[in-house]
Amino acid sequence: MTFRRPTLSRFGLSGYLPVIITFICAFIMLLPLGTSAANVTVPHLALASAFYWLSSRPLLMPYGACALIGFFLDLWLDVPMGLNIGLLVLTRFFVLNQLKHYKGRSRIVYWAVFTGLSFALYAIAWAVTSIVRGDLWPLVPILTQWAVTAVSFGPLALVFGRIRRSVM
Amino acid sequence: MALSVTLLVLDASGLGIPVRIRAMASDIVAPLLDILERPIRGTQAGLERLAGVSDIYLENEKLRKENEMMREWRDAALKLTRENDELRDLLDAPGRTVPTVATGRVIGVGGGAFERNVVLNVGTGDGVALNLPVVDATGVVGRTIQVGRLSSRVLLVTDINSRIPVRLEDSGALAIIEGQNSRELRLNYVPMGTEIKVGTRVLTSGHGGIFPPDLPIGRIVEVREDAVIVEPESLLDRLDFVKVLAYVPLTPETEPEPLVPLEKAPATQAEATE
């Protein structure tokens, strides 16, 4: 019987990089960047990071890590508990099931897939928040943040790609 | 996924993560946020300074004129304050000055696109408590909704959950101002027949027991058929230092006895108790 080391530790310290980077991205979302009160201009960095790493190294971002990062994000951002957990877990579920259709394609395809996925996730988040809070939530701020997140995925993916190539 | 749904159901039913745990989570990251926001502020200030260099001459002229005007206003305000204090003493009426509990710095933002709140670097250790009004130099910022030992969270006036009783400065009409999760606020429940003018200042009315009266909230910028739009007075797009006020609303026990005009004063003890 052979003993299999967990996937994360098989890569050594660099195996934890996707989780650490996504965690840092979640933390950066708290900082008063841009406008301190209207955080809509700050993209959902954790979502972009999770999608990038799941698309390139799916095994290094397990469900547990997605849920944990989402949990902290929910606590820190003071949004309904479970919202970001759900978004990140759904992202992993989507990527694991659909990666075969876009793996190895051009960056534009990855960008387009992320744009579509993030739109669906924001629509779900809007519906969930409206149900939890018992009121129809304003759409404009949510659409704005989705647009900013979708647009910023390209540059972010470039940065993540550089990090991945230099470390892994 | 099951965990996410369970937590959301608990949140919707009001049994979610207690506020205290959320406040503890903010406390854990507060020291790190405090350190990291400094270089960000420094960079932002530096960039703003660079961008403003070209306008310095024009701005200087404008400030000089404003300064002269402000000096005249200051003299008038001092005179009125003195008069006001003397009259209050005569009537034995309580003063309206609200002391500051703590001056804090915005070290974090929360809510993303869903809510509007900020994290301050002051908490119970500095005397901050729940539901205290928070203001900046120009107007109302919001109220404290979570307080940890080292940090506290402020629900901004622009948050959709924020509803503040207000009055219009010129007519005195009472209304409720509501956040929209955007830059604008919406004025609701304005009494029928009230004349609403663009430019009118909106002040807190003091009802509701959280905000003291007469704090500026915003200015009416648009009157639509279905809504009155107000722009916040406070600098919500570049909040830095804010003040948490120690406001304790006057209760019937602490309120002064209403003055009764002499001609209407009850003649007998029996009449007084009726």
Q: What is the DSSP string of B123-167?
A: -GGGT--TT-EEE-SSSEEEEEEEE-SS-EEEEETTSTT-EEEEE
Q: Tell whether A35 is covered by a domain.
A: yes
Q: What residues does B228 pair with on adjacent strands?
A: B187, B223
pLDDT for the residue B81: 85
Number of H helices, E strands in chain B: 4, 12
Q: Tell whether A2 is covered by a domain.
A: no
Nearest C-alpha neighbor of B176 from the set B201, B154, B205: B205
Delineate the domains of chain B, giving CATH numbers in brackets.
Answer: 163-239 (2.40.10.350)
What separation in angstroms does the CA of B259 have from each of B90, B98, B116? 12, 24, 43
Task: Find the Cα–Cα–Cα–Cα dihedral B38, B44, B49, B52, rounded to 10°.
Answer: -160
Look at chain A and report how many structural domains it folds into. 1
Alpha carbon distance B94, B89 (integer Å): 8
**Does B34 contact chain A (CB < 8 Å)?**
no
Res. B251: pLDDT tops 70: no
**Does B112 contact chain A (CB < 8 Å)?**
yes
Nearest to A31 among B108, B161, B181 (CB): B108
Chain A: give the shortest CA distance to residue B228, in Å.
Answer: 17
pLDDT for the residue B90: 80
- Could B239 and A37 be called an inter-chain contact, meaning their C-beta atoms sit closer than 8 Å? yes
pLDDT for the residue B274: 40
Q: Tell whether A61 is covered by a domain.
A: yes
In this prediction, residues B89-103 reach a mean pLDDT of 78
* Residue in the block written with tokens 């000089």: B64
pLDDT class for B38, splitting at 50, 70, 90? confident
pLDDT for the residue B261: 45
Res. B17: pLDDT tops 70: no
pLDDT tens for B216-239 read: 999 999 988 888 999 988 777 778
Task: Find the Cα–Cα–Cα–Cα dihedral B77, B81, B83, B85, rounded to 10°.
Answer: 180
- Could A39 and B110 be called an inter-chain contact, meaning their C-beta atoms sit closer than 8 Å? yes
In this prediction, residues B108-118 reach a mean pLDDT of 82
Nearest to A81 among B11, B108, B158 (CB): B11
Q: Please state, rounded to an integer, the average pLDDT across all residues of chain B.
A: 81
Chain B: give the shortest CA distance to residue A150, in Å.
Answer: 14
Interface of A with B in 119-158 (CB under 8 A): 122, 125, 128-129, 131-135, 137-138, 140-142, 144-146
Q: What are phi and psi of B120, to 5 degrees?
A: -105, 155
B28: which residues sit within 8 A by CB, 6+ positions away?
none
A23 contacts A134 by C-beta, under 8 angstroms: no
pLDDT for the residue B99: 83
Chain B: give the shortest CA distance to residue A57, in Å.
Answer: 21
Show the low-confidence residues of chain A (pLDDT under 50): 1, 36-39
* Residue in the block written with tokens 């639509």: B224
What tokens appear for A52 in the block? 């990038």
Which residue range(s) make up the domain with A35? 13-167
Q: Tell whether A8 is covered by a domain.
A: no
pLDDT tens for B170-179 read: 888 999 999 9
Alpha carbon distance B242, B106 (integer Å): 8
A3 or B182, which is more confident: B182
Alpha carbon distance A63, A81 (integer Å): 17
* Residue in the block written with tokens 């230099």: A166
B98 or A125, which is more confident: A125
Question: Which 3 state secondary structure label does DSSP give B232?
Answer: strand
State the ipTM, two decimals.
0.78
pLDDT for the residue B220: 93
Q: Tell whether A128 is covered by a domain.
A: yes
Length of chain A counted residue by residue: 168
Q: Tell whether A72 is covered by a domain.
A: yes
Q: Tell whether A7 is covered by a domain.
A: no
Nearest to A131 among B12, B146, B182 (CB): B12
What residue of A is the nearest CA neighbor of B235? Answer: A37
pLDDT class for B253, splitting at 50, 70, 90? low
What tokens appear for B212 in the block? 């003291």
Four-residue CA torsion sign, B118, B29, A28, B50? positive
Res. B268: pLDDT tops 70: no
pLDDT class for B264, splitting at 50, 70, 90? very low
B75: which residues sit within 8 A by CB, 6+ positions away?
none
pLDDT class for B250, splitting at 50, 70, 90? low
Nearest C-alpha neighbor of A152 from the set A14, A61, A33, A16: A33
Question: Which 3 state secondary structure label does DSSP give B169?
Answer: coil
pLDDT class for B15, splitting at 50, 70, 90? low
Q: Tell whether A3 is covered by a domain.
A: no
Helix (H) or strand (E) holding B102: strand B100-110
Query: Using N-to-C axis directions, what is the helix angle for A107-133 and B2-12, rounded to 10°?
Result: 30
pLDDT class for B58, splitting at 50, 70, 90? confident
**Does B11 contact chain A (CB < 8 Å)?**
yes
